[in-house]
Chain A
Amino acid sequence: MSAIILRDVRLALGGRVVLDRVSLDIPAGAFVGVLGPNGAGKTTLLRAVLGLVPPRQGTLRVLGQPPSRGNAAIGYMPQARGLLATLPLRGWDFVAGAVNGHRLGLPVLGKLERAEVDRVLDLVGAGALARRPLTDLSGGERQRLLLAQALIGRPRLLLLDEPLISLDPHHQHGVVDLVKSVQRELGVTVLFSAHELNPLLGALDLVLYLGGGQAALGTVEEVITGPVLSRLYGAPIDVVRLGGRIFVMSGGHDMEHDAHRHDVAEAGHDHA
């Protein structure tokens, strides 16, 4: 069965076409790395799956249904904002804020709801972390809480938008391993967007590479090749494999690494 099906889909924001004529099937239970340079449409695609960006053309099916807002079967971790680090809350209260957050009334959790918060915190091993204030946590620890929040309500599909942003390589691997173990334990489909392929290599089943309004889905061997990436980037690309790592190069520049550096600068800006 397919978790997500796109048929000839066009996604646009304002007057700008982000993805055009994209057709693909994402099998249920797969761990999919969603890659591509800044502005390629990773976030837009995830928001389309959530029902927040309706396709201008073509059909999109998510878990067998047309996408719709408020689908409890989808867990979502938005692209991180610097704001989180300044919230004057304990981790537990932050995660709890998303439990049945759509219901009117006071934000007072019932017994079952409290148990749900504890359950998702245990899943990501953040039970102890959650007693500390957000301001005292490291970036990686905050990502752990965000992942816990995405797991509320036992989703079957997990959309994680750049969980590795502004983490050092060691913590990147920690987050990838954590997501992989959660995926195995719960048997969910994961879409994990990132700027760099290498931290994901051990965890990936499939790569979804976006660029130039197009998309390529397949195994690393199928997608991360000179011809496929040259088509997506619209420029000649060389793929260099070195000691178990893969580098995507254009005219001697490491494309992914450059994009990532740009990103760190942005993240640093947010904190200021």
Chain B
Amino acid sequence: MLDYDFMRTAFAASGVVALVAGAVGYFLVLRGQTFAGHALAHVGFTGATGAVLLGAAPLWGLVVATLAAGIGMGAAGERLAQRDVAIGLVLALALGLGLLFLHFYTAFATQATALLFGNVLAVDSETLRTLLALGAVSLAALAVIARPLLFASLQPELAEARGVSPRLYGVAFLALVALATAGCAQIVGVLLVFALMVGPAATAQRLTGGVGSGVALSAALALAEAWLGLALAYYTDWPTSFWITALSAAVYLFAHIRVGA
């Protein structure tokens, strides 16, 4: 399986994306902002289709659109970032616009499927380099802000009194979520970003009550699910995104049954 170039690229790409998604996703779930993450992915769809229309790489459209939306949502305040109706409307509008952009583009069906459901086997070496760079930047940024971010997430009023601005870290964090989302969209597609961003994190929080152990477990689970999904896809010839979502859901369910008992 690893004799093939495209498989090695796929393993590397999904590996780095999964690590970022697992770590960032831990804080996303902790902060109760999973729906905001979902909406960012949809905005990414608009960005990607817009980029395709302009003849640019979809990944850059994804990055630019999610970053802009993430920072905008963060600046609008914690409250908006958790407000379902506003987010839901943005989400629907974003998908609709993306559809319009695709309408003007000729190779409609393949592009749409790849963006919506991912196509990790089609990642080329240039995209891989971009993903590696984005991943390194995201993880480094998270490592720098993790401590005040955790404080502001757990105790916003106390953090504010201690001179930590929950607003500032809210914006910085959603920018990170935007980068992680753009990466995930390359692997599992915008519709299935939950599988890597939320599934492993929610499972980890179910299994451990520690912060350090939670982040580590979340990243490890995401990595394992992504790689195992890729291997299963190779042997079954079923889509990778299906296997990753199936593993993510199964592991979450298993953790629930085990701990819930």
Residue in A52, A88, A133 whose Cβ sees the most chain B Cβ within 10 Å? A88
Question: How many residues on chain B are close to A (CB under 8 Å)?
Answer: 29
Known pairs A88-B206, A133-B209; A104 contacts B148 (CB<8 A): yes
Q: Once bound together, how far apart are the Cα atoms of A105 and B150, in whole Å? A: 11
B:134-182 near A, CB below 8 Å = 143-148, 150-152, 154-155, 157-164
Asked if A193 is at the interface of the complex by the 8 Å CB criterion, the answer is: no
Q: Once bound together, how far apart are the Cα atoms of A6 and B203, in whole Å? A: 51
Asked if A265 is at the interface of the complex by the 8 Å CB criterion, the answer is: no
Q: Please determine whether B144 and A149 come into contact, CB atoms closer than 8 angstroms.
A: no
Q: Please determine whether B160 and A101 come into contact, CB atoms closer than 8 angstroms.
A: no
Residue in A74, A90, A150 whose Cβ sees the most chain B Cβ within 10 Å? A90
Asked if B210 is at the interface of the complex by the 8 Å CB criterion, the answer is: yes
The residues of A with any CB-CB pair to B shorter than 8 Å are 47, 50-52, 69-70, 74, 76-79, 83, 87-90, 93-94, 96-98, 100-108, 133-134, 149-150
Asked if B14 is at the interface of the complex by the 8 Å CB criterion, the answer is: no
Q: Once bound together, how far apart are the Cα atoms of A102 and B148, in whole Å? A: 5
Q: Please determine whether A76 and B209 come into contact, CB atoms closer than 8 angstroms.
A: no
B73 CB, nearest partner CB in chain A, Å: 19
B161 closest partner in A (C-beta): A50
Q: Once bound together, how far apart are the Cα atoms of A235 and B247, in whole Å? A: 65
How many inter-chain residue pairs (CB < 8 Å) link A and B? 94
Q: Once bound together, how far apart are the Cα atoms of A90 and B205, in whole Å? A: 10
Q: Please determine whether A149 and B160 come into contact, CB atoms closer than 8 angstroms.
A: no
Q: Please determine whether A78 and B158 come into contact, CB atoms closer than 8 angstroms.
A: yes
A91 closest partner in B (C-beta): B209
B160 contact from A52, A77, A104, A150, Cβ within 8 A: A52
Q: Please determine whether B164 and A102 come into contact, CB atoms closer than 8 angstroms.
A: yes
Asked if B30 is at the interface of the complex by the 8 Å CB criterion, the answer is: yes
**Which residues of A are found within 8 Å of B162, using beta-carbon distances?**
69-70, 98, 101-102
B:91-150 near A, CB below 8 Å = 143-148, 150
Q: Please determine whether B209 and A52 come into contact, CB atoms closer than 8 angstroms.
A: no
**Which residues of B are found within 8 Å of A70, using beta-carbon distances?**
161-163
Q: Please determine whether A88 and B143 come into contact, CB atoms closer than 8 angstroms.
A: no
A159 closest partner in B (C-beta): B161
B210 contact from A74, A87, A90, Cβ within 8 A: A90
Q: Once bound together, how far apart are the Cα atoms of A97 and B158, in whole Å? A: 11
Known pairs A88-B30, A98-B151; A105 contacts B143 (CB<8 A): yes
Residue in A74, A103, A104, A134 whose Cβ sees the most chain B Cβ within 10 Å? A104
Interface string of B209-228 (1 = CB under 8 A from A): 11110100000000000000
Q: Please determine whether A106 and B143 come into contact, CB atoms closer than 8 angstroms.
A: yes
Q: Please determine whether B147 and A105 come into contact, CB atoms closer than 8 angstroms.
A: yes
B145 CB, nearest partner CB in chain A, Å: 7
Q: Please determine whether B144 and A97 come into contact, CB atoms closer than 8 angstroms.
A: no
The residues of B with any CB-CB pair to A shorter than 8 Å are 29-30, 32, 143-148, 150-152, 154-155, 157-164, 205-206, 209-212, 214
B232 CB, nearest partner CB in chain A, Å: 29
B6 CB, nearest partner CB in chain A, Å: 35
Known pairs A52-B160, A76-B157, A149-B155; A104 contacts B211 (CB<8 A): no
A87 contact from B147, B154, B160, Cβ within 8 A: B154
Q: Please determine whether B151 and A88 come into contact, CB atoms closer than 8 angstroms.
A: no
Q: Once bound together, how far apart are the Cα atoms of A110 and B143, in whole Å? A: 16
B149 closest partner in A (C-beta): A107
**Which residues of B are found within 8 Å of A52, using beta-carbon distances?**
160-161
A50 closest partner in B (C-beta): B161
A49 closest partner in B (C-beta): B161
> Which 8 residue pairs of A and B lie closest in terms of their CB atoms, listed nearest first?
A101-B151, A70-B163, A90-B209, A78-B157, A88-B205, A107-B147, A50-B161, A97-B154
Q: Once bound together, how far apart are the Cα atoms of A158 and B113, in whole Å? A: 58
B154 closest partner in A (C-beta): A97
Known pairs A88-B209, A89-B209; A101 contacts B161 (CB<8 A): no
Q: Please determine whether B155 and A103 come into contact, CB atoms closer than 8 angstroms.
A: no
**Which residues of A are found within 8 Å of B214, using beta-carbon distances?**
88-89
A104 contact from B145, B155, B206, Cβ within 8 A: B145
Q: Please determine whether A102 and B151 come into contact, CB atoms closer than 8 angstroms.
A: yes
Q: Once bound together, how far apart are the Cα atoms of A88 and B154, in whole Å? A: 11
Q: Please determine whether A94 and B161 come into contact, CB atoms closer than 8 angstroms.
A: no
Q: Please determine whether A100 and B209 come into contact, CB atoms closer than 8 angstroms.
A: no
**Which residues of A are found within 8 Å of B209, using beta-carbon distances?**
88-90, 93, 133-134
Q: Once bound together, how far apart are the Cα atoms of A104 and B145, in whole Å? A: 6
**Which residues of B are found within 8 Å of A87, using beta-carbon distances?**
30, 154
A19 CB, nearest partner CB in chain B, Å: 19
Q: Please determine whether B146 and A106 come into contact, CB atoms closer than 8 angstroms.
A: yes
Q: Once bound together, how far apart are the Cα atoms of A149 and B157, in whole Å? A: 13
Q: Please determine whether A102 and B210 come into contact, CB atoms closer than 8 angstroms.
A: no
Q: Please determine whether B159 and A101 come into contact, CB atoms closer than 8 angstroms.
A: yes
B151 contact from A77, A90, A97, A150, Cβ within 8 A: A97
Q: Please determine whether B148 and A108 come into contact, CB atoms closer than 8 angstroms.
A: no
A242 CB, nearest partner CB in chain B, Å: 37
